[in-house]
């Protein structure tokens, strides 16, 4: 999508009419045309801080194993938050035991090639990459197979030191199918990614941090990791949303373009931001040593 379309889409967002209730310290919203519904079977939605939408995977008996119905809900919730002008960042998390302990094997074990190919099986699992609002993953416990892939699809990955990552598909006679081989190699390099995928070996959250897969590693546990992700999300949400969306766009383009093409693309988007109100507001506030009041336009 061009940057001009980026501006146009951000300038038009529906207003919300919400009713908040208190439940276990989380603020949930009633379903409206602009707010994520609270009737999801496998998700819990909340706004832990202003501007932050939280999506918690909630299949505890299956350790949040990923399935097509679950991803339908994830895509719906992400899309709702992405369209909500009050949300500037999204946190995706699971439980202390599992972010997502892989794909639901029962769903795919009997698939034939023609069924998988004709239905483009697992393609909807990658639609998270079309979400323009920055997404942070807060990973504790298991993040295996599709769970590891889902975490890597997020823009920023935080995890606990004892989290367990891995792409064990080789043990089932298949390979990663939702981008695991492509994203892991970009994070840890070809040799390490090849070793992990060919052996199916797991690796820890501590190693994820050391190898550059995780942006931050937390020693204390799930609550600290989740709170850290929420704090960062709140900081991101406090900036001009047209600028944060543009920043996410240019960083992601670096994975697809040569250095020269990427720098040129970045420069064009940078130039485009001079056509926004928030650029004028931000630079004027800086000159006056005032706090900018963003319009997100």
Catalytic annotation, pick one of 143, 149, 151, 282: 149
CB 176 within 8 A of CB 197: yes
Is position 256 annotated as part of the catalytic site? no
Radius of gyration, alpha carbons of the chain:
20
Active site residue 169: yes
Q: What is the DSSP string of 165-233?
A: EE-GGGGGT----SSHHHHHHHHH-HHHHHHHHHH--EEEHHHHHHHTS-SEEESS-HHHHHHHHHHHH
- Surface-to-core class of residue 218, CB atoms within 10 Å of its CB (0-12 exposed, 13-18 middle, 19+ buried): buried
Of 73, 86, 169, 266, the active-site residue reads: 169
The yes-or-no answer on residue 233 being catalytic is no
- Active-site residue, selected from the candidate residues 101, 103, 137, 233: 103
CA distances from 151 to 17, 64, 108, 147, 167 (A): 31, 13, 21, 6, 12
Question: Which residue in the list 53, 94, 145, 146 is annotated as catalytic?
Answer: 146
Residue reference for tokens 């929420």? 230
Q: Is 231 a catalytic residue?
A: no
Q: Kindly list the catalytic residues.
A: 103, 146, 149, 169
């Amino acid at each position: 999508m061009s940057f001009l379309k980026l501006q146009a889409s951000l300038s038009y967002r529906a207003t919300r009419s919400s009713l908040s209730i208190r439940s276990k310290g989380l603020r949930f919203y009633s379903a409206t045309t602009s707010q994520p519904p609270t009737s999801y079977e496998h998700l819990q939605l909340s706004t832990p801080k202003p501007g932050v939408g939280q999506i918690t995977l909630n299949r505890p008996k299956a350790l949040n194993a990923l399935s097509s119905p679950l991803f339908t809900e994830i895509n719906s919730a992400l899309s709702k938050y992405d369209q909500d002008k009050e949300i500037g960042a999204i946190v995706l998390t699971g439980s202390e035991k599992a972010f997502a302990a892989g794909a639901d094997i029962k769903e795919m074990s009997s698939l034939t090639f023609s069924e998988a190919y004709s239905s483009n099986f697992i393609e909807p699992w990658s639609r998270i990459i079309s979400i323009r609002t920055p997404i942070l993953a807060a990973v504790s416990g298991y993040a295996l197979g599709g769970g590891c892939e889902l975490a890597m699809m997020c823009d920023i990955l935080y995890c606990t030191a004892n989290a367990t990552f891995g792409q064990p598909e080789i043990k089932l006679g298949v390979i990663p199918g939702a981008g695991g081989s492509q994203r892991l190699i970009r994070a840890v390099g070809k040799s390490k990614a090849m070793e992990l995928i060919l052996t199916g070996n797991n690796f820890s959250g501590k190693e994820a941090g050391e190898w550059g897969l995780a942006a931050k590693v937390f020693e204390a546990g799930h609550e600290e990791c989740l709170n850290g992700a929420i704090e960062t999300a709140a900081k991101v949400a406090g900036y001009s949303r047209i600028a944060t969306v543009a920043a996410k766009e240019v960083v992601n383009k670096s994975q697809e373009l040569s250095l020269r093409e990427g720098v040129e693309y970045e420069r064009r988007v940078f130039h485009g931001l001079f056509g926004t109100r928030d650029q004028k507001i931000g630079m004027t506030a800086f000159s006056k040593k005032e706090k900018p009041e963003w319009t997100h336009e």
